[in-house]
Structure 1
């Protein structure tokens, strides 16, 4: 079974790190409506485009999703 994107993203949380991906992860943690079981890029992208005012650029999501895919291929 594939690990959901949210679960991977939570491994990137770090309140001391002010990088864009860490900020995304920190903010997603507080987003109670985030699709926590999703693995599909398009489902996640659509949700974030419509609901994530905390994400200043979708390129941050693209970067995090690429990291997620890379981690999945190594598993």
Structure 2
């Protein structure tokens, strides 16, 4: 069974320093979030963390989009 990379690890591949779209900006901000659940592959755990502990994600729809991209990349 293959080991699935964490969502955070995937998200870091989406960072872009300038002219970033919403997912890329999310990745840029998550990079500076030392408490982000970096090893998690669990949607509910990450979603709850973002809802309760961050102010850099203006809409959870951005997380949903990034999560779908992550799932697509893992398949």
Tell me the number of residue pairs that the alignment of Structure 1 and Structure 2 aligns.
73
TM-score when normalising by structure 2:
0.95
CA distance in 1, matches of 2:53, 2:59: 13
Structure 1 position 16, deviation (Å): 1.3
Q: Tell whether 2:12 aligns with 1:49.
A: no
RMSD between superposed Cα atoms in Å: 0.6
Residues of 1 paired with 2:9 and 2:25: CA distance?
A: 15
Gap runs ≥5 in structure 1: none
Scaled by the length of structure 1, the TM-score of the pair is 0.95
Runs of 4 or more, structure 1, over 2 Å off, are none
- Consecutive unaligned residues of structure 2, counting only runs of 5 or more, are none
